[in-house]
A and B are shown apart, each in its own frame.
Chain A
């Protein structure tokens, strides 16, 4: 990003973005904020940075987006650089503050708009910009080619098939009930995640498919502020789902992917009515239904006995509405469950959301400071296992685990379900089969 700091600011473009977003909501929010300061206490950045008032949500939008409007877009590089630090380095757009504001001002939406302004001038974290290049070139954040992806799937089908007879990873199956969409990290670095999902779907005897394109569920362009690209990313997925005629899109255990696909994507992609063309379901919901309906049974002897706590990912709980499903699902899997406080829709962000994890080493130090709150919350539960149905939470809590010596193990639901479920005999491989 440093090279763009030399370029002149295109104030015309900034004004264009500001005008396009200058609707009734932003006008109202900017004008009625009464500077009561109640939002400060809701923000984990504020709470973990010695209650420095510059970390209060109101201050953050006041010194970024509000200032852009006040100056009618006539801002300089220095200003954008300051905004950069605030909107990416001090906010994960977790939206907790909106619940603590007497007017319900959606500060995260304003921070996102400020990100869009900065992004238009090339002021954007390198880590996110790299993913944008990848999204443009390959449709996924890791820049994985279709061939590599399909190879990975068939490799996993082969490998997991040895454990579970009859396991297949269908690709582009028309009219399937679920089109399972991923986080590109899975095929790239954690292919076993695909294998585990395939096991769960197989045991549940689900009618599912993967897709050769549009399989990327993440949308870091949304966090980079590139709304056009964010629209294109979800469109790839939606259009593939429509083309295959699937009934639902199922999203892997990733928080922001769900927020993008189910809630914000239709707006980025310009779908009237604000609804995705195909229903979107998160893994937490889907896995819960399998266990609730008895399609998957858990072996009581294998249930987790160590104390377990559940990390509510902001984009699954508060911004996804699935906090109860997460708990009920946990109840099937663990004997000793302990709540963090606060929890459910009032949870605190882990500190890894909003693009923070892919933003890379430049932001790591801040991420560890702001994550202290989550570390303290986890430690207070006494849990040894943290379930995190979100890749960013997963990574962040692993980092916090090292930084703060929490001594916990972070697990996804997929991992636990695969370890604890009863595999019916018909799926059990015949002894001696693997000797050849």
Chain B
């Protein structure tokens, strides 16, 4: 188990980060090259002001008509995404490891705050999962892979939370925590989760297309 732990926070972590960042960069570079050839409509009508506003309005809660029409979903959706980013990035223990390994780290939050955000995350996670199963228009679209990806985002939180509170076998939970978080990082560039970066491109395009060409707001 010690060996496994050492592997997971050593070589496996490097692989995960490289695949995550490299994969996303390659995917964007590939799509960029392809777009130059086949999607001239993007560049013919590029309009940064509309592109930026198209992105911005969907980055703020209830910033679009669509989100205002579904206020509860929007709340949960934002809590989910905010916590999904904030907890791993600003967790003290994670940053301590950055600090020890590279001498630099991000600011961190207190463990109490992280605990609350984790619970908030899990609530929104359960909401999104339940919505996926209950709402017919979402269920009909949902595949096993969609459930897998959703669970994959939730597992690191559950295992991390249990390990922190030392419920269950600590070492096993910690190893599962790291393992699934690394799996998640590796899967992101090759799945719909690549929307963490592609969101900006697809939103910018629709901003050009509706706003730049026609003055219509897409929010």
Contacts and interface: CB of A to CB of B under 8 A. Distances in A.
CB–CB under 8 A between A and B in the complex? Answer: yes
Contact of B202 (A59, A105, A320): A105
A27 B34 contact: yes
A32 B194 contact: yes
B75 interface: no
A274 B195 contact: no
A155 interface: no
Interface residues of A, number: 50
A219 to B, nearest CB: 17
B38 A104 contact: no
A268 to B, nearest CB: 12
Nearest to A319: B214
Given A31-B194, A42-B66, A104-B203, A56 B137 contact: yes
A103 B200 CA distance: 8
A133 B141 CA distance: 38
A227 B23 CA distance: 35
A51 interface: yes
A228 interface: no
Nearest to B43: A274
Contacts of B132: 35
Interface residues of B, number: 53
A345 B192 contact: no
A24 B195 contact: no
A37 B195 contact: no
Contacts of B210: 98-99, 318, 345
B88 to A, nearest CB: 20
Nearest to B195: A32
A177 interface: no
Given A38-B66, A103-B203, A58 B141 contact: yes
A318 B65 CA distance: 15
Contact of B192 (A31, A37, A62): A31
A99 B140 contact: no
A427 B90 CA distance: 77
Given A56-B140, A320-B214, A99 B205 contact: no
A162 interface: no
Nearest to A344: B216
B52 interface: no
B136 interface: yes
A37 B69 CA distance: 13
A23 B35 contact: yes
A390 to B, nearest CB: 16
A273 interface: yes
Interface in B185-219: 191-192, 194-195, 198-199, 201-203, 205-207, 209-210, 213-219
B70 interface: yes
B65 A24 contact: no
Contacts of A58: 141
Contacts of B17: none
Given A41-B69, A104-B207, A318 B141 contact: no
Contacts of A41: 66, 69-70
A53 B218 contact: no
B137 A100 contact: no
B136 to A, nearest CB: 4
Interface string A40-60: 111000100001011010110
Given A100-B66, A104-B218, A318-B214, A37 B137 contact: yes
B60 interface: no
Interface in B15-31: 31
A345 B45 CA distance: 19
Given A23-B35, A32-B192, A62-B141, A345 B41 contact: no
A321 B194 contact: no
B142 interface: yes
Interface string A259-299: 00001000100001111000000000000000000000000
A23 B34 CA distance: 6
B40 interface: yes
Contacts of A42: 66
Contact of A24 (B39, B66, B69, B70): B39
Given A25-B39, A28-B198, A103-B195, A51 B44 contact: no
B145 to A, nearest CB: 10
B213 A263 contact: yes
A57 to B, nearest CB: 10
B195 to A, nearest CB: 4
Nearest to A38: B66
A37 B136 CA distance: 9
Given A22-B38, A36-B138, A59-B140, A99 B31 contact: no
Nearest to A35: B141
B212 to A, nearest CB: 10
19 contacts: A21-B38, A22-B38, A25-B42, A27-B31, A31-B191, A32-B195, A32-B198, A35-B138, A35-B142, A36-B77, A38-B70, A53-B139, A98-B206, A99-B66, A100-B66, A106-B205, A275-B44, A321-B214, A345-B214
Given A56-B140, A59-B137, 20 more contacts: A20-B38, A23-B39, A25-B41, A25-B202, A27-B34, A28-B31, A29-B202, A35-B142, A36-B77, A37-B135, A38-B66, A56-B141, A59-B140, A99-B66, A102-B58, A102-B66, A104-B205, A106-B209, A274-B40, A317-B216
Q: Which 9 pairs, one residue from A and one from B, show the smallest C-beta to C-beta distance? A: A104-B206, A23-B38, A24-B35, A321-B214, A274-B44, A37-B138, A40-B137, A35-B141, A100-B66
